[in-house]
Structure 1
Amino acid sequence: MERRKVGILGATGMVGQRFIQLLSNHPWFEIAWLAASDRSAGKTYGEACKWKLDTPLPRHIAAMTVEPNVPEGAKGELPKIIFAALDADIARELEPKFAAAGCAVISNSSAFRMVADVPLVVPEVNADHLALLETQQWRKQSGGYIVTNPNCSAIGLVLALKPLEERFGIEGLFVTTMQAVSGAGYPGVASLDILGNVVPFIKNEEEKMQEEVGKLLGSLNGGSIKMLNAKVSAHCNRVAVEDGHTECVSVKFRKKASREEILAAWREFTPLAGQHLPTAPDQPVEFDEAEDRPQPRLDRMRGRGMASTVGRLRECSLLDWKFVVLSHNTIRGAAGAALLNAEVLARTGKLDKLGIAPAAKSERQAVLA
């Protein structure tokens, strides 16, 4: 596939850094534009960014000039594929401007996740929901659109739930999270607040999980999503772990399920097989038989950080079954999720002819005919 030029909004933050790391040697995408807040704009990326990842900052990226987080800030041609790593309040203002400029905005922000015509997508779970983007006004007017990926704790969870929902139906769900400090960004949680401690509150996190699971596991019905008909209760906690969100899950099914049937559902869940997407894991859900796994330090990089690891499957005395799920929160839960969405958009032709509204396309085709 021809390499396409991309831009990154919020490029200096932790998720922006993950985007750079994952895109550095990507076969389909090439970083051509970096943007950040006014305090970083005008500096080289190396000057503006406190690089915190475990791979070196690429020299050519370090030498790039950071530009303002606005479409008109682009010196030269604005890339039509934009990865957005912005805080929700800023995203709510800026992302529509890029969509209106004819860009595909592939967002990690929560700002538009629950908007009716914005796809909230995990490709292995609900790639068909991408059809919603064709109903957006930006798409009709400029060819641009917004696509979002879910909250970092919801992604690993729904990967484990999707094959179970397909086979047995889900009636109720109870989940308690133990979320890594990297999910709070940099500098994140103060050391005196988190070391030797558990913080049993993450602002808006429980609400996001409860809402987003319903949309992700819901069904596309014409031009709208029919939400999953299940009760979801979440407790979200911040713990002193660097990377990797761990979640303890209890689930009630609509159909009776045996242990062997649940394990088979996870094992046989390979919805992207044969699509040859560079970032997609071969096995999106991996089961570990060990009695004390998964663990963040040992299992967060399974599938190059894109797989969801499950373990400790056992019967639940209150619901039906319970298990533990682990996923890498800044790879699968953030930048990697958006990148995989972009790969699916590329594979399905939805990154072609951006910046040209459908009406203009029809007129152009008529002239050519």
Structure 2
Amino acid sequence: MSKPEQKIPVGILGATGSVGQKFIELLANHPWFEIAELCASDKSAGKKYKEAVDWFLPSQLPEKIGEILVQRCEPKLKSKVVFSGLDSNVAGEVETQFAEAGYKVISNSKNHRMDENVPLLIPEVNPEHLELLKLQKYGEGCIVTNPNCSVIGLVLALKPLLDNFGLEEVNVVTMQAVSGAGHPRVVKLDIDDNVIPFISGEEQKVETEPLKILGSLNLNKIVFNDFKISAQCNRVNVTDGHTECVQVKLKKKASAEEIIHVWQNFESVPQKLKLPLAPLKPIHYSKDESFPQPKHQRNADKGMAVSIGRLRADKIFDYNFVILSHNTVRGAAGDAILCAELMRAKGII
């Protein structure tokens, strides 16, 4: 798809936080979007971004971005497209205010994900759910959300199975990276030499969000899918990359070769449109028994692809396998930006 003649100016809400920083890193050289405005808390407002932020990403803060004056998270921006990395304590109200004021809000926060008329979007999986925007009462504004970081990798792996063989039951155990908890230095003491077998609210998200994403659009309403999901979520001492051990019971019999085939040949709207951040292949399958590993596969296709391995017959379910996805790229800011690219391609932005 051709790029716009002029880049579209965008704002970032929650720009000093972990997701906000990832938005900046991924948007800094984007061919379609240009960072024009940064918003954060009252204590950061009025400062240059480089003075307000504790930049902890390994990449260098772009000099031009560092000079931008931080604004309050108020709907007074010139940019009509905003990416939200706000904390859930404030995101719900602030995002609604922006949408009501005519802004296109693409949010990584959880607050609006399960709202009836809000798309919970993975562009390769449910692009048709953007039709829900016609039902929102925000005039020129709208809210689109991307799912939980573990859910995105899981659903990308499940989508080809659902389409080709059907799903009855899914069991998933996650091993989630430290970066998913926010600022890495804040959680480091708790996670050193440790596994934390509880992440507040995470299991509920993993058990419910996929059913909306994989639901069908019927008479302008999402009819949730009805397969069963059970989840156990754990925090582990890995910097980036969520690993998930998955068991599935299928509706139709399938050989391992057939499953690998549908994974390897899966592509969707973002690939056909050649959107800038779309991975060439959304799913990478490895026959190496020791893969996938966060250290080696988390950056597959610039962090936007899901890596799968260890497909085996299961004595309780039909099959089990392991998936890996980059939680702050594909699982957060990257998916949100891909949503915005899809919206631009469809003329919504």
TM interval, shorter chain, is over 0.9
Q: Specify the alignment match of 2:18 in structure 1.
A: 14
Matches within 5 A, 1:45-60: 45-60=49-64
SS of 2:43 mapped into structure 1:
coil
Q: 1:188: how far off?
A: 6.1
Partner of 1:91: 91
TM-score by length of 1: 0.92
Q: Which residue of 222, 243, 257 maps to 1:246?
A: 243
Q: Which amino acid aligns with 1:133?
A: L
The equivalent of 1:194 in structure 2 is 191
Query: What are the equivalent positions in structure 2 for 1:278-357 lying under 5 Å apart?
Result: 278-351=276-349
Counting only pairs closer than 5 Å after superposition, residues 100-115 of structure 1 correspond to structure 2 as: 100-115=100-115
Deviation of the 1:143 alpha carbon: 0.8
How far is 1:273 from its partner?
A: 2.7
CA distance, structure 2, for counterparts of residue 163 and residue 36 of structure 1: 39
Q: Distance in 1 between matches of 2:185 and 2:72?
A: 24
Say whether 1:149 aligns with 2:162: no
| SS at structure 1 position matched to 2:301 | helix
Bigger radius of gyration among the two: 1
CA–CA distance in 2 between the matches of 1:249 and 1:348?
34
**1:4-62 CA distances to partner (integer Å, 9 max, x unpaired)?**
00000000011101100110110000011000011111110000011111211111100
Matches of 2:240 and 2:28, distance apart in 1:
21
* Alignment match of 1:36 (pick from 21, 37, 40): 40
Q: Deviations over 1:145-204 (max 9, x none)?
A: 000000000000100110010000010000000000100101565333211110000000
The answer on whether the counterparts of 1:168 and 1:253 sit within 8 Å (CA) in structure 2 is yes
Distance in 2 between the 1:170 and 1:186 partners? 36
State the secondary structure of the residue aligned to 1:91. helix
Alpha-carbon separation, structure 2, partners of 1:273 and 1:214: 24
2:74 aligned to 70, 74, 99, which one?
70
How many equivalent pairs are there? 344
Work out whether residues 310 and 326 of structure 1, in 8 Å CA contact, stay in contact via their aligned partners in 2: yes
Q: Residues 73-108 of structure 1: CA distance to partner in whole angstroms, max 9, x if unpaired?
A: x4xxx2110000011121111001100111110000
Aligned CA-pair RMSD = 0.9
| Identical amino acids, percent of aligned pairs | 54
How far apart, in 2, do the equivalents of 1:157 and 1:257 lie?
Answer: 19
- Contact kept, 8 Å, 2:292 with 2:322, in 1: the verdict is yes
Mapped partners of 2:145, 2:297: distance in 1: 26
Instruction: Give the match for residue 236 of structure 1.
Output: 233
Q: Structure 1: which amino acid aligns with 2:132?
A: L
Q: Secondary structure at the match of 2:113?
A: coil
The answer for the alignment partner of 2:273 in structure 1 is 275
Q: Which runs of 5+ in 1 are unaligned?
A: 352-369
Q: Deviations over 1:265-312 (max 9, x none)?
A: 101101133301000000001001110100001100001000000000
The separation in 2 between residues aligned to 1:42 and 1:168, in whole angstroms, is 55
In terms of mean alpha carbon deviation, does 272-281 or 248-257 score higher? 272-281
Q: Which residue of 2 aligns with 1:170?
A: 167
**Counterparts in 2 of 1:220 and 1:188: CA distance versus 1, 3 Å:** farther
Letter in 1 for 2:346: T
